[in-house]
């Protein structure tokens, strides 16, 4: 039996170092309208701000990433204006000519070029992962260790402040089969008003509906002592970041007194913060977000530190479109555990999603997109429509 020449002579392997060299990084600011106002303890948004990042490789492949903020530098220190400026002036020059496949090296180079700026860095990192996935023809999660889950229990945020409107909104989500677990934003009214609103929602929703109360750093330690027992009486399942980040000792006292699990969010961005807050026992659950941790690999490291201390994982969001949400889901898919599911509802709160193939919400779960890279395709007509013109 003779073997063909094709079977005996291997094809030359692609030169990843050369072919994935970064030729260009470009950034646009996007302002996408939301279907209703989204309120936090310190701001309210009716348009969601993003930076849309495009990374062009020498092989002609383009990867896409997204960084999100809430109403400017109020949730964290970054704004879309600052992100664009720092990517253009510092992060892009540090990466041009470097192989995109060297993801860890890219993170190191960005960290040398600019301190913190985690959302900007995560948007670039997301675009690199998308480009490499497309180059190799594999989903992004393969580059991060491979998926251990392909669908996630989904959580919807109720944040208008109007209990009647929020009940109608929640009921629609249940009827459509999209969401049957809800996060209620607190902290933008006085505690008693917030609790009355929460009680009205609890009474109107089906028995046993899981509720997360997100105070967004809006209460003092004294208010926590007074009002957390009321949340327990209302059968809330989880309380997110009730007091300000950085108040480690007070947060530990609140967590120790509380009969409800406390979730850390704004208090944990870096690896050292994860180690400090876990050791201090300021929470038993951690909300993970790429915009806090700077890259997919850093998110996984933060999760590992917290998990080593017995902390459970929750997939947080910052109202990303399907672009940013897909980047998160591919990362969350590789975590050994994600006990609390994810709140990636951003694509459903936008008047128009920024992709041609939005994420699939079905059976009260959001499904991991398939295909190479992030598995979603930007809708450039909509991106041009909502891109800032100045």
Which string of DSSP letters, residue by residue, matches 323-390? HHHHHHHHHHTTSS--TT-B---HHHHBSS-SBSSPPPEETTEEEPPPSSBTS--B-HHHHHHHB---
- What was the pLDDT predicted at 25? 98
Give which of 144, 108, 164, 182 is closest to 345, Cα–Cα: 182
What is the pLDDT averaged over residues 74-85? 89
pLDDT, one tens digit per residue, over 6-16 is 455 565 556 88
Using a pLDDT cut of 90, give the percent of the chain over it.
Answer: 87
How much is the pLDDT for 160? 86
Q: What pLDDT is stored for residue 73 in this prediction?
A: 76
For residue 81, what are the domain limits?
16-137
CB 246 within 8 A of CB 267: yes
For position 82, which CATH number holds? Answer: 3.30.390.10
Whether residue 218 sits in one domain with residue 110: no
139 in Cβ contact with 375 (< 8 Å)? yes
Q: Do 299 and 358 belong together in one domain?
A: yes
Structure tokens at 168: 């109608």
Identify the pLDDT of residue 260. 98
Instruction: Tell me phi and psi for residue 8, to 5 degrees.
Output: -100, -20
Name the token pair of 53: 């990042």
**Residue 3 confidence class, pLDDT cut points 50, 70, 90:** very low
pLDDT at 314: 98
pLDDT tens-digit map of 239-249? 999 999 999 99
| 135: confidence class by pLDDT, cuts 50, 70, 90 | very high
DSSP of 235-254, one letter per residue?
A: T--EEE--S-TT-HHHHHHH
Q: What is the DSSP letter of 142?
A: G
* Residue at 10 is within a domain: no
Q: Which of 118, 137, 156 is the last residue of a domain?
A: 137
Residue 364 belongs to some domain of the structure: yes
Residue 45's pLDDT is what? 67
Instruction: Count the domains in the chain.
Output: 2
pLDDT for 18: 87
The residue to which tokens 């967590």 are assigned: 255
**Per-residue pLDDT at 4:** 45
Q: Is 130 exposed, middle or buried (0-12, 13-18, 19+ CB in 10 A)?
A: buried
- 381 or 71: which leads in pLDDT: 381
- Enumerate the active-site residues: 185, 343
Give domain status of residue 384, yes or no.
no
Same domain? 258 vs 313: yes
Q: Per mean pLDDT, which range of 33-47, 103-117, 206-220, 221-235 is the poorest?
A: 33-47
Which residue, 102, 120, 137, sits at the end of a domain?
A: 137
Q: Are residues 192 and 296 in the same domain?
A: yes
User: In this structure, what CATH number is given to the domain that contains residue 163?
Assistant: 3.20.20.120
Residue 126 in domain:
yes
| Confidence (pTM) | 0.93
């Amino acid at each position: 039996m003779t073997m063909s020449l094709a079977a005996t002579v291997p094809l030359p392997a692609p030169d990843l170092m050369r072919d994935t060299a970064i030729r260009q990084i470009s950034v646009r600011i996007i302002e996408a309208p939301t279907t209703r106002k989204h309120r936090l303890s310190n701001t309210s948004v009716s348009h969601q701000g993003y930076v849309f990042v495009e990374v062009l490789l020498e092989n002609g492949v383009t990867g896409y990433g997204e960084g999100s903020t809430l109403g400017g530098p109020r949730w964290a220190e970054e704004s879309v204006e600052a992100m664009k400026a720092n990517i253009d002036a510092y992060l892009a020059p540090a990466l041009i000519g470097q192989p995109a496949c060297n993801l860890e090296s890219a993170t190191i180079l960005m960290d040398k070029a600019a301190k913190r700026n985690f959302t900007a860095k995560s948007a670039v990192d997301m675009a690199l992962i998308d480009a490499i996935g497309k180059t190799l023809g594999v989903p992004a999660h393969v580059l991060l260790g491979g998926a251990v889950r392909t669908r996630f229990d989904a959580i919807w945020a109720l944040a208008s402040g109007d209990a009647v409107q929020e009940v109608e909104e929640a009921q629609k989500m249940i009827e459509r089969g999209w969401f049957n677990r809800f996060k209620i934003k607190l902290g933008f009214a006085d505690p008693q008003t917030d609790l009355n609103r929460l009680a009205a929602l609890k009474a109107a929703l089906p028995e046993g509906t899981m509720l997360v109360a997100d105070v967004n750093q809006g209460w003092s330690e004294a208010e926590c002592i007074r009002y957390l027992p009321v949340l327990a009486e209302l059968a809330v399942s989880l309380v997110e970041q009730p007091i300000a980040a950085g108040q480690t000792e007070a947060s530990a006292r609140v967590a120790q007194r509380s009969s409800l699990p406390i979730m850390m969010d704004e208090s944990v961005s870096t690896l050292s913060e994860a180690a400090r807050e876990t050791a201090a026992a300021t929470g038993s659950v951690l909300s993970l977000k790429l915009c806090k941790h700077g890259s997919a690999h850093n998110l996984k490291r933060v999760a590992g530190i917290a998990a080593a201390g017995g902390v459970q994982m929750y997939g947080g969001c910052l109202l990303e479109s399907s672009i940013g949400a897909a980047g998160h889901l591919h990362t969350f898919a590789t975590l050994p555990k994600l006990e609390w599911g994810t709140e990636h509802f951003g694509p459903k709160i936008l008047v128009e999603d920024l992709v041609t193939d939005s994420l699939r919400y079905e059976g009260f779960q959001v499904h991991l997109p398939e295909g190479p890279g992030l598995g979603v395709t930007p809708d450039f007509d909509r991106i041009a429509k909502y891109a800032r013109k100045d």
